Amino acid sequence: MTRLHTMLTAAAVLLTGLVMAAMMPTQAQAGIAGTAHDLSAQGWGTTQICIFCHTPHNAQAVPGAPLWNHAVTVATFSAYTSATLNAVVGQPTGTSKLCLSCHDGTVALDSYGGNAGTHFMDPGGAKLGTDLTNDHPISFTYDAALATADGGLRSPASDKYVDAASTLPLFSAQMQCATCHSVHDNSKGKFLRMLNNGSALCLACHLK
């Protein structure tokens, strides 16, 4: 091999490695450690994982928020709306408000345990903002009556779970961010509760 050849081969090997690394799923992992929700490695003063969201003592009294330790958003949101929507969708409630307390970009990520915080979510896909008109509707009652009114929805098997396998939970009969997402588990990617190959997640509720 010529010297140029060797260099080209080495470059090709390096490139292949980089492409493969980029294609490798980074989120194939159960549990919160090492995921986007593990803020302990950010260097903001704590190596704990849970404390950004929960505390064992002196937690805030936020409805539906287990031992909550993060400042809760006070933003006013624009809710999803459409001509064909049957659900009554208002301001975010319950655990969706907890998600939006980081994902609307108005509250600092490190605003926990009474700290004001200075690190906000970076612009990009994860920052939903306060305009939810372009996001799947959340914080509404999903019951048999809604399924009948819509005509293209599976009726929730009970007021706790949407599907027979009990993978997509409702919260007090309401659909929330956490119906589709599992905040502590990124083993399926994007913190989803089930894989969406062939849009299986969507088809668990929509009869399309």
Tokens of 128: 């939903």
Length of the chain: 208
Distance of CA 90 to the CA centre of its chain: 19
Q: Which is nearer to ligand HEC, 2 or 56 (CB)?
A: 56
Q: For the CB of residue 191, give the shortest distance to ligand HEC in the complex, in Å.
A: 4
Backbone angles phi, psi at 198, to 5 degrees: 65, 20
Size of the residue set binding ligand HEC (CB under 6 A) = 59
Burial of 86 (0-12, 13-18, 19+ CB in 10 A): middle
Q: Which is nearer to ligand HEC, 85 or 165 (CB)?
A: 85
Task: Check binding of 178 to ligand HEC (CB under 6 A).
Answer: yes
CA triple 123-128-130, angle to 5 deg: 110
Residues of this chain that bind ligand HEC (CB under 6 A)? 27, 32, 36-37, 49-50, 52-54, 66, 70, 82, 84-87, 95-96, 98-103, 109, 121-122, 124-126, 128, 135-138, 142, 146, 150, 153, 162, 168, 175, 177-181, 183-184, 190-192, 196, 199, 201-202, 204-206
